[in-house]
Amino acid sequence: MNIILIGFMGAGKSSIAKKISEKTGDVLIEMDDMIVERSGRKNVAEIFDKDGELRFREMEIEVAKEISTKDNVVVATGGGVIINKIILDYLRKNGKVVFLQTRFTEILARVGGVDGRPIFQDKKKAKILFDFREVLYKEYSDLSVATDNRSLDEVCESVLSMLKNKRR
Ligand code: S3P
């Protein structure tokens, strides 16, 4: 079974996925990195700029399909995977989906003002997107874990113990 971490930009998906991988030995997959490698571009911002967001979203679908054939991997998704239900359908095939839930004020403190995230250029727009997506993250996840004011270790432990209980 795979562990799929979803949540808004800055929710800690990459850091928590890395921790889980260190604890469980599951192979770590960064969806954004897989996409960048395949695209031949430097980074996500360059894909958005040169190929367009639509192409990026198509590549998310391709990568999700490939991940669905894997087992025992922990996946840090991009914050926009819930836009296309087909992506979640692939990821859920062989995985449990965990929503890392973080308040917007905390997100702002973590990523506000940082370049390289094409979707986070305008804070007002980002807040609207946050509210809209929150509903979808909840809808598509098997469980939610709060990350505000908690250490990476605490969140990692919560994710693993909640997943264990789910399987019982
Ligand atoms: C996006 C989030 C980014 C990246 C891309 C689009 C989004 O990933 O996939 O910039 O639509 O929220 P992170 O959530 O890792 O920042």
- Convert the pLDDT of each residue in 40-71 to its tens digit: 999 999 999 999 999 999 999 999 999 999 99
What is the 3-class SS of 56-98, one letter each residue? HHHHHHHHHHHHCCCCCEEEECCCCHHHCHHHHHHHHHCEEEE
Rounded to two decimals, what is the model's pTM? Answer: 0.95
Atom of ligand 1 nearest to the CA of 129: 12
According to DSSP, the β-strands at 27-30 and 143-146 are: unpaired
Selection from 33, 37, 29 nearest residue 68 by Cα: 29
| φ, ψ (nearest 5 deg) of residue 143 | -155, 155
Residue nearest to atom 10 of ligand 1 (CA): 117
- Convert the pLDDT of each residue in 136-161 to its tens digit: 999 999 999 999 999 999 999 999 99
